[in-house]
Structure 1
């Protein structure tokens, strides 16, 4: 595929776009004077390109949200059709496309999560899920793991476990963090997945006991942690958390904002382990991010809490018709085109095997882990000691090895997802086998840059 360059797609236009951005746009998670955003001219399928015609294979799916790629014609047409018919309507009305989006989502959630509260994104979904749990139980504390990301709004950022929490952490938000399972860097000195599962559950049980079960409203976990490292939970872990929640009357929330809607080769990642939570938060892949949308899928018991008691929360754009039209088209398209099954196939037969071979060739690759179109490579200085390629939360010169690796990827036409000492392989779930193999070959080559920083170099 070649870039669709139009008359206006010139270097001069790109420079003007960049200048306007630098003059007026305030970017998230950034020191404003130290960034140099790429001016993007267009995108289609698994690729996007700049105004100089440089094309990039999107192995990040932007922020792991373009699950059906860029500019899918069926979704674009649905948005255009909805815009011509009804652009917006307040959330208090019954709207056909909103009802249909909720129905399609509820059909795919596990168990009895048949009610959907719509938000504008994942962080708002987490905020409302936590509010529902607190009101349902009459308790205030919420437990979450250190290796996690749940969003950047008030409650969500305090629930987050990674360093983005630190500048906003009040230490008084009713949040308690604990260690989730991660055998490669086990906090429990485990040698096997079974040991890691058993010891992680014992640690959580102890945390609940010492915090006071009657004070805990909810436990929130990413079914498969995303930005924090795509750590696949060991068999039995999520079921064990479910049992602890049931034992103590705690609401179990699974955050599927990143892992949901086909990313792991199932509609929801929890379905790999046949676990049904009380609440699921979603966003991103529900409509590939074409129009902002998120939400909470709600169990019958929690929905009943608000049958005659008003739920004290809402958003002007909850269930926005354009966003819901995009969701309906996305879900139907994924069904028609077998996108979820394709993601599973990619993971099992294309991405997983190729990454295993890549790991054998590169001393910088300490571990490969993932499911579907959701993979991480743990980059290390030393395979034996497992010393990370860069220190935890490294910045500036300390982060140079990862910066050099990312630059090598981009120079070759691969747009990577890089966080701390990891690179994630998270292309669109409908990427073709040929495109996936192209990207994996580019990744293989770029890892030679990371290899230069290992003890074996």
Structure 2
């Protein structure tokens, strides 16, 4: 489908520019695309241009756009009950919690619902601090955990810099990243060993008795789609057990099928103490997030009031969308499809591209969660653009992005990387269509190589 109505598109754009304040943007320097509609793996504008969504919007439309079963569930819930405050019991909320905890590993048997991922991380931190009686929280430099006070302080990427307002107790450390090792490691095994030694040293020198939690994106998302080396997450789990620290797995982006497993921790058989989620739980059709809570932490609040809450916690429309999403993903084997696409289509095709293009330094990922790291020189691994480049310094990536869009592909680009993150429902043909466009666009990046 497409929509051809330029006048309507101009009216939408003009109203946006007159009244909408956009996230993460210099307001006078942006020109947002007016989107007219979407279906499956595609969306389109009012000028008749159709884009293959290789970004899944913000890596959240795991079930694709306008999945009919989810849309129908939202409509049915709206006819039944649009809103009820969180102190009441509600069938949509209870069923969503039951389904989510059935999918979670180990004894993570309760859900605290939020409106999104940042609030999920805020509440997970609060739970860990209250449970342990400690105040410090550790997270990696290459990370993103949300834009609320504690969540942005936890974040390692440059969005943190202008937002640091004195939130105390946040300590950053280096996570594993073998391609650009902070530990001068020779291969993944050594990277894992040295990264764990660095983490333990950080714990010791910060004072283990002061540390409430370690928060990790199970697979680092926006900051690079960094898949942990074998043994790393098990090592973190062991360190948390050794020092009495709560292990919080941030699965906001990696969860609900994105890595080819329901939760990314399933790829390594790890059970954290808390899992935070959002995005893929209902593909963002109605805002929803939450914290999945282990029995041990739940017991802390059996007789002790939990000092936190949200008016829209477990909103019926959002929870009905989650129930329909999880059910559809099970019935249609969407998680299995994501796994197969990663193993049989995306991985092999990207590795072949890396051999063809001078600008491709590394490809990495799993499921429908991949990154292509672009470089000026494969030998030196110099990034195609500098860390946090903007303006003219970002020209190579800007030209690459424009080349993708001109060919009908909407990419997810961050710094010197393009991320291959289509919906989990994508077909083999759609993925190959997108990869062929990426292949063409990479010739633009190649022109900037030394």
Secondary structure at 1:36 match in 2: coil
Q: After superposition, give the CA deviation of every residue in 1:290-330 in whole Å (9 maximum; x if it has no partner).
A: 00000000000000000000000000000000000000000
Q: State the partner residue of 2:436.
A: 441
Tell me how far 1:192 sits from its aligned partner. Answer: 1.1
1:254 to 240, 249, 258: 249
2:324 to 322, 326, 329: 329
1:344 to 330, 339, 346: 339
> Does 2:376 correspond to 1:381?
yes
Q: After superposition, give the CA deviation of every residue in 1:310-369 in whole Å (9 maximum; x if it has no partner).
A: 000000000000000000000000000000000000000000000011111101000000
1:155 to 139, 150, 155: 150
Secondary structure at 2:8 match in 1: helix
Q: State the partner residue of 2:83.
A: 88
Paired with 1:257 and 1:172, the residues of 2 have a C-alpha distance of 22
Contact 2:150-2:167 within 8 A present in 1 as well: no
Q: State the partner residue of 2:270.
A: 275
Paired with 2:332 and 2:432, the residues of 1 have a C-alpha distance of 20
Q: Structure 1 length as normaliser, TM-score?
A: 0.98
Tell me how far 1:170 sits from its aligned partner. Answer: 3.2
1:183 to 139, 163, 178: 178
Q: State the partner residue of 1:67.
A: 62
Tell me how far 1:173 sits from its aligned partner. Answer: 2.0
Secondary structure at 1:319 match in 2: coil
Secondary structure at 2:139 match in 1: strand
Paired with 1:320 and 1:289, the residues of 2 have a C-alpha distance of 13
Q: State the partner residue of 1:46.
A: 41
Tell me how far 1:171 sits from its aligned partner. Answer: 5.0
Tell me how far 1:247 sits from its aligned partner. Answer: 0.6
2:282 to 287, 299, 302: 287
Secondary structure at 1:254 match in 2: strand
Q: State the partner residue of 1:300.
A: 295
Paired with 2:33 and 2:95, the residues of 1 have a C-alpha distance of 37
Q: Structure 2 length as normaliser, TM-score?
A: 1.00
Paired with 1:123 and 1:68, the residues of 2 have a C-alpha distance of 21
Q: After superposition, give the CA deviation of every residue in 1:33-64 in whole Å (9 maximum; x if it has no partner).
A: 00000000000000000001100000000000
Q: State the partner residue of 2:107.
A: 112
Secondary structure at 1:377 match in 2: strand
2:123 to 125, 128, 131: 128
Q: After superposition, give the CA deviation of every residue in 1:56-103 in whole Å (9 maximum; x if it has no partner).
A: 000000000000100000000000000000000000000001000000
Q: After superposition, give the CA deviation of every residue in 1:252-272 in whole Å (9 maximum; x if it has no partner).
A: 000000000000000000011
Paired with 2:219 and 2:240, the residues of 1 have a C-alpha distance of 18
> Does 2:354 correspond to 1:359?
yes
Q: After superposition, give the CA deviation of every residue in 1:409-453 in whole Å (9 maximum; x if it has no partner).
A: 000000000000000000000100000000000010000000000
Gaps of 5+ in 2: none
Paired with 1:170 and 1:78, the residues of 2 have a C-alpha distance of 41
Q: State the partner residue of 1:21.
A: 16
Q: State the partner residue of 1:211.
A: 206
Contact 2:288-2:318 within 8 A present in 1 as well: yes
Q: After superposition, give the CA deviation of every residue in 1:215-260 in whole Å (9 maximum; x if it has no partner).
A: 0000000000000001110000000000000011100000000000
Q: How many residues align?
A: 450
Q: State the partner residue of 2:398.
A: 403
Paired with 1:285 and 1:24, the residues of 2 have a C-alpha distance of 29
Q: State the partner residue of 1:99.
A: 94
Q: After superposition, give the CA deviation of every residue in 1:88-119 in whole Å (9 maximum; x if it has no partner).
A: 00000000010000000000001100100000
Paired with 1:107 and 1:72, the residues of 2 have a C-alpha distance of 23
Paired with 2:167 and 2:80, the residues of 1 have a C-alpha distance of 47
Paired with 2:362 and 2:425, the residues of 1 have a C-alpha distance of 25
> Does 2:239 correspond to 1:244?
yes
Q: After superposition, give the CA deviation of every residue in 1:145-175 in whole Å (9 maximum; x if it has no partner).
A: 0000000000000000000000011354210
Q: State the partner residue of 2:159.
A: 164
Paired with 1:192 and 1:10, the residues of 2 have a C-alpha distance of 54
Secondary structure at 2:377 match in 1: coil
Tell me how far 1:15 sits from its aligned partner. Answer: 0.3
Q: State the partner residue of 1:429.
A: 424
Contact 2:278-2:288 within 8 A present in 1 as well: yes
> Does 2:57 correspond to 1:78?
no
